[in-house]
Amino acid sequence: MRVISVPDDAPAVLGVSPSFARLRGVGEVRYFDTLPGSEAVLAERMQGAEAVVNIRSSSKITRAVLERCPDLRMISIWGTGTDNVDLDAARALGVRITNTPAVSAASIAEHTLALMLAVARRIPGIDASVRAGAWPRGGMVQLHGKTLGVIGLGEIGRRFARLGEAIGMRVLTWTMNPKPELGFAHVPLEELLAASDVVSLHLRLSEQTRGFLDAARLASMKRGAMLINTARGPIVDEPAMMAALESGHLAGAGLDVFDVEPLPPGHPLSRMENVVLSPHSAGITPEALEAGLALAVENVAAYFDGRIRNAVV
Amino acid sequence: MSDPFRIGISDDFYTEAAAPLEFVCRKKLAGVPGIAFQRLPTDADKFAAPEALANFDAIFALATKITAGSLRGVERLAVVARWGVGYDRIDVPALTEAGVALTITPGAVRRPVSEAIFTLIFALSKNLLMQDKVARSGGWRGDLPKMGISIGGRTLGSVGCGNIGQEMFREAGSLGFGRFIACDPYVTQEQVKHLGVELVDIDTVFRESDFVTVNTLLNDRTKNLVQEKHFRLMKPTAYFINTARGPIVEHAALVRALKENWIAGAGIDVFPVEPPPGDDPLFELDNVIVAPHALAWTTELMNDNGTEASDAVLSVSRGDVPAGVVNRDVLKHPKFLAKLERLRK
């Protein structure tokens, strides 16, 4: 039987998942539910394995580790980040690398909707007021009939745009590469920013998108609009965004991502009442984690069948 | 007609809804020939006395209390137009007997309430209160006591499938839920088939839903409708959402269900008494989101309520039967017909 190593399932996620039985059906599994703690132990745990399912990004799969594992042919990473693996070395040594993209898209789109609704209905603030004995009525924002501007139409952006339509919003979109086949109204960026009651960001962070929503673009948004960011913090000019929230130019923001994460204690955003924050957790639901584990296992199975899927290298 | 059609505006509008009242008076009533409107004084319990009601043809009611006693000797009044859809503070048979129509504003409330329900469903599912608290206090996702859950594929249930329930299911149709179930003795399967709703009994709604929502009126049949036995039927992972009326639910049973984790959490916009006392045990619990019976209280809701209520009142002022009548029997009542006849002249 072909040997598969799981060197780093700590705390255990794969070992307690239904996908683990499937993995056992794919090959002989050598399973470790502690962290290796060192490159030497990591390499030892991978010895003799043709495939590795890498659970934790704390396991640094360096050139040295790869060179000590001559039987290794593929690494299936659970997650989308690949920075814990030396991809150049893997390429040079003929080791294929796969990851599990898009499994959390549905969860992130739902989380984006949750943030948008919570900002509109002042959810954490109103709950705290009522618990403190107040009875503040009126002034809620209705989203039905309002305009939602979705920037970026990858898997997450297009799902969120559909959710916006579901609750009766008029959806405008802008992407770097327009996708007319999706059927959304695609407009120039300036028009989207000027017309939208809510702007939601769904771009990948790159050198092109760093600082994308800068002070000038924030200023071109409708007065009293809301901003939602579940993409990456640096896509927005954070100080300019905070100034707009303080001046009232932006009525509120729902933010899952920040310039510096975790958000440093005492950060000005943590004292603002017109924002709803979450700790970069939009993609973390049991369903998304399970879907990722299932895909990581299927990536190994596909490789053993001679078909590579979700290859990074 | 020298004597104008007089609309009495219940006191509480001036404190609770001044802006929408101003909007509606300006947009709908100002400048309409033969129409006059003025404040209707009420007591501390918002009770409208007969002396106050006697001189009006129509009343705008917010939380106004109107009983049989309110109507003693009141001959002129033709319509009470409530801004909203609940009428648990109004004695409907007494209105009918006095030949007064009661109108409500179903068109205005369904979307804002439906959106309020989704706000609670998504905030509860994603555990947003805790997420916000952790992020603000320098913690991070590893510090979250539990993950948010996905909505996809889950079962949305409703106690009541009328105006608001049906709107909720209509919008939920594209939000990714897996199944819709509801109980409602006044609705047939045929009427809700196009929404993908299965009509079931109340126990099934509680037993099989991941989200149980309440979308029914408060009346003698629904008071304390939701009891301990219903919460005991719910899945430990399920959420309970009440944006309808507090007294529909036995509050002590709800508190117990949350305290003892029979259910995952609750979103509560309405209370047995409003505002609730400061020591309401719900306020001690971290698996509940509370709101001040105002989660649906958007600018659009109040303006639309007022527009719909004004349309009803203006119909009556022309001697026409208004839309949104609750007490349909009144439409055949000689007293009411005589009032319409007089107004037509």
The per-residue pLDDT string of chain A (313 residues; one tens digit each, 9 = 90 and over) reads 899 999 999 989 999 999 999 999 999 999 999 999 999 999 999 999 999 999 998 899 999 999 999 999 999 999 888 889 999 999 999 999 999 988 999 999 999 999 999 999 999 999 999 999 999 988 899 999 999 999 999 999 999 999 999 999 999 999 998 889 999 999 999 999 999 999 999 998 899 999 999 999 999 999 999 999 999 999 999 999 999 999 999 999 999 999 999 999 999 999 999 999 999 999 999 999 999 999 999 999 999 999 999 999 9
**What is the mean pLDDT of the segment spanning B215-235?**
97
Terminus-to-terminus CA distance in chain A, angstroms?
Answer: 25
Query: Quick one: B83 and B146 in the same domain?
Result: no
> Of the candidates A114, A264, A280, which has its C-beta nearest B128's C-beta?
A114
pLDDT tens per residue, range A136-156? 988 899 999 999 999 999 999
Domain end (from B274, B290, B306):
B290
pLDDT tens per residue, range A222-260? 999 999 999 999 999 999 999 999 999 999 999 999 999
Confidence of residue B2 (pLDDT cuts 50, 70, 90): low
Interface test with A, best of B15, B115, B132, B301 (most A CBs within 10 A): B132
Q: Which residues of B touch A142 (CB under 8 A)?
A: 111-112, 115, 298-301
Active site residues of B: 245, 274, 293
Q: Count the Cβ atoms, other than its own, within 10 Å of residue A266.
A: 10
Interface test with B, best of A110, A160, A257 (most B CBs within 10 A): A110
User: CA-nearest residue of chain A to B274?
Assistant: A135
Q: What is the pLDDT of residue A83?
A: 84
Query: Quick one: B47 and B94 in the same domain?
Result: yes
Q: What is the pLDDT of residue A57?
A: 87
Q: What is the pLDDT of residue A1?
A: 82
Domain end (from B250, B268, B290):
B290
pLDDT > 90: percent of chain B: 97
**A residues 233-272 closer than 8 Å to B (CB):** 261-266, 270-271
Domains and CATH numbers, chain A: 3-103+286-304 (3.40.50.720), 105-277 (3.40.50.720)
Query: Quick one: B192 and B59 in the same domain?
Result: no
Query: Quick one: B75 and B120 in the same domain?
Result: no
Q: Which residues of A touch B295 (CB under 8 A)?
A: 121, 126, 140
Q: Which residues of B touch A127 (CB under 8 A)?
A: 129, 289-291
Q: Which residues of A touch B274 (CB under 8 A)?
A: 135
Closest chain A C-alpha to B330 CA, distance in angstroms: 33
Query: Quick one: B78 and B209 in the same domain?
Result: no
Query: Quick one: B113 and B99 in the same domain?
Result: no
Q: What is the pLDDT of residue A134?
A: 95
Closest chain B C-alpha to A197 CA, distance in angstroms: 14
> Of the candidates B144, B151, B276, which has its C-beta nearest A110's C-beta?
B151
Q: Burial level of B94, CB count in 10 A (0-12/13-18/19+)? A: middle
Query: Quick one: B36 and B85 in the same domain?
Result: yes
Contact across the interface for B171 and A261, Cβ inside 8 Å: no
Query: Quick one: B135 and B177 in the same domain?
Result: yes
Closest chain A C-alpha to B318 CA, distance in angstroms: 32
Is there a catalytic annotation at residue A280? yes
**What is the mean pLDDT of the segment spanning B94-107?**
97
pLDDT tens per residue, range B278-328? 999 999 999 999 999 999 999 899 999 999 999 999 999 999 999 999 999
Q: Taking 90 as the threshold, does the pLDDT of residue B338 lie above it?
A: yes
Q: What is the pLDDT of residue B104?
A: 97
CATH number (domain holding residue B329)? 3.40.50.720
Q: What is the DSSP letter of A246?
A: H
pLDDT tens per residue, range B157-199? 999 999 999 999 999 999 999 999 999 999 999 999 999 999 9
Q: What is the pLDDT of residue A300?
A: 98
Query: Quick one: B283 and B142 in the same domain?
Result: yes
**The whole model's pTM is what?**
0.90
Query: Quick one: B167 and B303 in the same domain?
Result: no
Query: Quick one: B91 and B115 in the same domain?
Result: no
Q: What is the pLDDT of residue A137?
A: 85
Q: How many domains does chain B have?
A: 2
Query: Quick one: B229 and B122 in the same domain?
Result: yes
Confidence of residue B3 (pLDDT cuts 50, 70, 90): confident
Look up the domain containing B57 and give its range.
5-104+298-344
Interface test with B, best of A117, A156, A270, A274 (most B CBs within 10 A): A117
Taking a C-beta distance cutoff of 8 angstroms, is the pair A39, A69 a contact?
no
DSSP track, A275-291: EEE--S-TT--HHHHHH
Contact across the interface for A118 and B119, Cβ inside 8 Å: yes
Q: Which residues of B touch A124 (CB under 8 A)?
A: 128-129, 132-133
Closest chain A C-alpha to B312 CA, distance in angstroms: 24
**Cβ of residue A76 closer than 8 Å to a chain B Cβ:** no
**Average pLDDT value for chain B:** 96
SS (H, E, C) chain B: CCCCEEEEEECHHHHHCHHHHHHHHHHHHCCCCCEEEEEECCCCCCECCHHHHCCCCEEEECCCEECCHHHCCCCCCCEEEECCCCCCCECHHHHHHCCCEEECCHHHHHHHHHHHHHHHHHHHHCCHHHHHHHHHCCCCHHHCCCCCCCCCCCEEEEECCCHHHHHHHHHHCCCCCCEEEEECCCCCHHHHHHHCEEECCHHHHHHHCCEEEECCCCCCCCCCCECHHHHHHCCCCCEEEECCCHHHECHHHHHHHHHCCCCCEEEECCCCCCCCCCCCHHHHCCCEEECCCCCCCEHHHHHHHHHHHHHHHHHHHCCCCCCCECCHHHHHCHHHHHHHHHHHC
Q: Which residues of B touch A284 (CB under 8 A)?
A: 141, 147-148
Residue linked to tokens 């990536």: A299
Taking a C-beta distance cutoff of 8 angstroms, is the pair A220, A212 a contact?
no
Taking a C-beta distance cutoff of 8 angstroms, is the pair B108, B163 a contact?
no
Tell me which of A50, A158, A232, A238 is the catalytic residue.
A232
